[in-house]
Amino acid sequence: MTNAFSLFSSLKDQIASRQARVATVGLGYVGLPLALTISETGFPTTGLDLNDRRVAAINAGEQVISYFAPDRVATAVASGKFRATSDFSALSETDVILICVPTPLSPAREPDLSYVVRAAEGISSWLRPGQLVVLESTVWPGATAGVIKPILERGGLRTGDDFFLAFSPEREDPGNEKFDTRSIPKVVGADDQKSRELIDLFYSQIVSKTVPVSSLATAEAVKLVENSFRTVNIALVNEMKVAMEAMGVDVWEVVQAAATKPFGYMPFYPGPGIGGDCIPVSPAYLSWRARDVGSSLPIVDLARTNNENAPDMIAGRVAVEVSRRHGVAVSDAQILILGIAYKKDVEDTRVSPALAILKRLESMGAKVDYHDPYFPVMPLTRDDPELAGRKSVALTEDAVSRYDAVVVTTDHSHVDYGLVGRSAKLVLDTRNVFAKVGAIGNGAPVVKI
Ligand SMILES: NC(=O)c1ccc[n+]([C@@H]2O[C@H](COP(=O)([O-])OP(=O)(O)OC[C@H]3O[C@@H](n4cnc5c(N)ncnc54)[C@H](O)[C@@H]3O)[C@@H](O)[C@H]2O)c1
């Protein structure tokens, strides 16, 4: 038996018996649910994160992510199957290493792989024969083989012989009540047969269905294509919204009715723009890579531009509505932004269109406050550090009645829309939430924008 084969078959046995020790590098919105799911399946799991405060909170059993069951982290820690650490040397005692660190855009709006590079360098120092390394972070097709593999091989170990390398894109949808880590099918890909077999076997133990693909680049591309599809369709429905309104037609009603077609149509809903660390980023990665290889994606690029402009269009519409309905110039207007998270029921403001709208209205001279039950205080983010520390306004009738308009930017479930409808002078609803919850303001006009 060759050494490569014995390394492969011994890891295979460990995975099959769930004795393989697993590490996730990065304990964020993706890495933490993944680490917990793996430990809940029975694999001894270590979560590694550079953020000492997060590591301490996790080890103390804090809930950490709002949509988790309150005792999920505490139960995992108490089981003895899961712990968090910031010490990379822990990797030497693991068999499977999953990289779940951020892959944002650089200030020039190009792929920023610095976090994955740093994670790969950290792993490289502790890499030993017989380990399986899996990149989960969103990257452009070719990045795992072209950027990560050479870093891991620096110490002389060879992929496919001494250690194994795979890519499996994250499809986590924070706050989704229907699908979680376990029930979302997991795409798995690698460039050599042994790595392909190991990654498929590993995820077959954890998720309900794996979807094996033939290469690292294919698996990388799947994620970008999924999110680019979403990007294009969101831009399309927002474009439809403007045209439908000019025709006197409610786009929400149109989408709802169109969605009853059992084939050939999938509903996407209008909104204030796209946000989060994932959907806006993926098409930029794909487009960048397309240019890099001498191709192009003009439809994707146009959709990105439309989505990036969406918050400005909403801010412009707010200015028009307060002037037309109250005779108040936007420079004198007082506006309440309802919801700063990028989507409902999550505590995440990264790339949130609500913050872009808030800043745009302020640049027009308006006085803008916000209310968000998830953010009593505005957090520090990479893109909007100047907003950190602002405080959420309490949602009382008295407070709401003082604003010229309330702009609904996020449709959180736990907001008293009835109170807003009763006390606001004007509601500008980018999410159609007032119609959905039936909170038609008695007095306040509710305008879908
Ligand atoms: N959030 C989502 O909804 C989502 C969905 C699908 C895919 N993704 C992708 O998953 C990846 C991770 O995203 P996320 O939302 O979990 O990010 P996140 O910012 O929530 O978490 C990343 C964590 O990694 C830690 N970290 C950064 N560099 C590190 C390093 N070198 N070593 C150890 N820890 C490190 C950070 O401290 C942070 O806790 C990204 O590529 C993202 O595009 C995210």
What percent of the chain shows pLDDT beyond 70?
98
Give pLDDT, residue 1: 47
Instruction: Work out the average pLDDT over 77-86.
Output: 96
Which residue out of 148, 198, 278, 368 is catalytically annotated?
278
Q: Is the CB of 255 within 6 Å of ligand 1?
A: no
State pLDDT tens for residues 306-342: 999 999 999 999 999 999 999 999 999 999 999 999 9
* Atom 41 of ligand 1, nearest CA residue: 137
Distance between CA atoms of residues 106 and 123, nearest Å: 23
> Does residue 181 surpass a pLDDT of 90?
no
* Atom 24 of ligand 1, nearest CA residue: 26
Between strands 446-448 and 132-135, the pairing is: unpaired
Domain residue ranges in the chain: 3-217, 256-448
Confidence band for 380, pLDDT divided at 50, 70 and 90: confident
Instruction: Work out the average pLDDT over 53-78.
Output: 93
Q: Do domains 3-217 and 256-448 have the same CATH topology?
A: yes
Distance from the alpha carbon of residue 30 to the mean position of ligand 1, in angstroms: 6
- Tell me the pLDDT of the chain averaged across its residues: 95
Q: Is the CB of 230 within 6 Å of ligand 1?
A: no
What predicted TM-score, i.e. pTM, was given to this entire model?
0.93
Distance from the alpha carbon of residue 28 to the mean position of ligand 1, in angstroms: 5
Distance from the alpha carbon of residue 101 to the mean position of ligand 1, in angstroms: 4
Please name the CATH architecture into which domain 256-448 falls.
3-Layer(aba) Sandwich (3.40)
Q: Is the CB of 421 within 6 Å of ligand 1?
A: no
Q: Is the CB of 25 within 6 Å of ligand 1?
A: yes
> Does residue 409 surpass a pLDDT of 90?
yes
State pLDDT tens for residues 61-73: 999 888 888 999 9
Distance from the alpha carbon of residue 129 to the mean position of ligand 1, in angstroms: 26
Would you call 278 a catalytic residue per the annotation?
A: yes
* Atom 33 of ligand 1, nearest CA residue: 49
Top mutation candidate among 62, 179, 278, 352 for ligand 1, by most atoms within 8 Å of CB: 278
Give pLDDT, residue 440: 64
Q: Is the CB of 170 within 6 Å of ligand 1?
A: yes
The reply to whether CATH 3.40.50.720 applies to domain 3-217 is yes
Residue 300, beta-bridge partner list: none
Query: Which ligand 1 atom minimizes the distance to the CA of 48?
Result: 33
